[in-house]
Amino acid sequence: MHDRLHKCDVAGCAQTKGFQYKKDLKRHYDTVHRKGSLKGYFCKYDWCSASKSQSEPRGKPGMRYDNFRRHMESHHGF
Protein backbone atom coordinates (compact mmCIF):
# COMPACT_ATOMS: atom_id res chain seq x y z
CA MET A 1 0.00 0.00 0.00
CA HIS A 2 1.27 3.43 -0.92
CA ASP A 3 1.35 6.32 1.50
CA ARG A 4 -0.55 9.41 0.38
CA LEU A 5 1.49 12.00 2.21
CA HIS A 6 0.70 14.99 0.00
CA LYS A 7 -2.66 16.42 1.07
CA CYS A 8 -4.57 19.31 -0.48
CA ASP A 9 -4.72 22.17 2.01
CA VAL A 10 -7.50 24.14 0.28
CA ALA A 11 -10.46 24.50 2.66
CA GLY A 12 -13.50 22.52 1.54
CA CYS A 13 -11.65 20.48 -1.09
CA ALA A 14 -13.43 17.22 -1.88
CA GLN A 15 -10.09 15.44 -2.43
CA THR A 16 -9.48 13.99 1.02
CA LYS A 17 -7.30 10.96 0.19
CA GLY A 18 -4.16 12.88 -0.63
CA PHE A 19 -1.57 12.04 -3.26
CA GLN A 20 1.40 9.71 -3.34
CA TYR A 21 3.54 12.16 -5.30
CA LYS A 22 3.98 15.91 -4.96
CA LYS A 23 3.62 16.30 -8.74
CA ASP A 24 0.13 14.81 -8.54
CA LEU A 25 -0.85 17.29 -5.82
CA LYS A 26 0.44 20.12 -8.02
CA ARG A 27 -1.56 18.84 -11.00
CA HIS A 28 -4.67 18.63 -8.77
CA TYR A 29 -4.18 22.18 -7.54
CA ASP A 30 -3.53 23.55 -11.04
CA THR A 31 -6.60 21.91 -12.55
CA VAL A 32 -9.09 22.19 -9.68
CA HIS A 33 -8.21 25.25 -7.64
CA ARG A 34 -6.45 27.72 -9.93
CA LYS A 35 -9.08 30.27 -10.91
CA GLY A 36 -9.27 31.32 -14.54
CA SER A 37 -7.30 28.28 -15.63
CA LEU A 38 -9.07 26.52 -18.47
CA LYS A 39 -5.99 24.84 -19.87
CA GLY A 40 -6.32 21.34 -21.17
CA TYR A 41 -8.23 19.51 -23.86
CA PHE A 42 -11.92 20.06 -24.62
CA CYS A 43 -14.36 18.04 -26.70
CA LYS A 44 -14.86 19.42 -30.21
CA TYR A 45 -18.64 19.00 -30.07
CA ASP A 46 -20.29 22.14 -28.68
CA TRP A 47 -23.30 20.19 -27.40
CA CYS A 48 -21.09 17.91 -25.28
CA SER A 49 -20.71 18.72 -21.57
CA ALA A 50 -16.92 18.37 -22.01
CA SER A 51 -16.75 21.08 -24.70
CA LYS A 52 -15.19 24.45 -23.99
CA SER A 53 -18.51 26.25 -24.53
CA GLN A 54 -20.16 24.04 -21.88
CA SER A 55 -17.18 23.92 -19.48
CA GLU A 56 -16.08 27.57 -19.55
CA PRO A 57 -19.21 29.09 -17.91
CA ARG A 58 -18.89 26.58 -15.05
CA GLY A 59 -15.17 27.31 -14.64
CA LYS A 60 -14.38 23.68 -15.36
CA PRO A 61 -10.83 23.09 -16.65
CA GLY A 62 -10.02 21.02 -19.70
CA MET A 63 -9.05 17.37 -19.51
CA ARG A 64 -5.58 15.86 -19.47
CA TYR A 65 -4.72 14.34 -22.85
CA ASP A 66 -5.18 10.73 -21.67
CA ASN A 67 -8.62 11.54 -20.28
CA PHE A 68 -9.51 13.46 -23.46
CA ARG A 69 -8.66 10.44 -25.62
CA ARG A 70 -10.67 8.16 -23.34
CA HIS A 71 -13.61 10.60 -23.51
CA MET A 72 -13.53 10.72 -27.32
CA GLU A 73 -13.38 6.91 -27.56
CA SER A 74 -16.09 6.15 -25.01
CA HIS A 75 -18.53 8.99 -25.79
CA HIS A 76 -18.04 9.62 -29.50
CA GLY A 77 -16.50 6.41 -30.88
CA PHE A 78 -13.17 7.92 -31.98
Number of domains present in the structure of the chain: 2
Please report the pLDDT score of residue 15 as a whole number.
Answer: 87
Residue 43 and residue 55 share a domain: yes
pTM: 0.54
Spatial separation of the C-alpha atoms in residues 17 and 77, rounded to whole Å: 33
Q: What is the mean pLDDT of each run of 10 residues along the chain (78 residues)?
A: 86 90 89 69 92 83 87 94
Residue 50 and residue 26 share a domain: no
Residue 56 and residue 28 share a domain: no
Spatial separation of the C-alpha atoms in residues 3 and 21, rounded to whole Å: 9
Please report the pLDDT score of residue 38 as a whole number.
Answer: 58
> Where in the sequence is the domain holding 13, given as residue range(s)?
1-34
Give the CA distances from residue 61 to residues 1, 4, 49, 78, in Å, rounded to whole numbers and listed in that order: 30, 24, 12, 22
Residue 27 and residue 14 share a domain: yes
Please report the pLDDT score of residue 60 as a whole number.
Answer: 78
Residue 63 and residue 42 share a domain: yes
3-state secondary structure of 54: helix
Please report the pLDDT score of residue 1 as a whole number.
Answer: 62
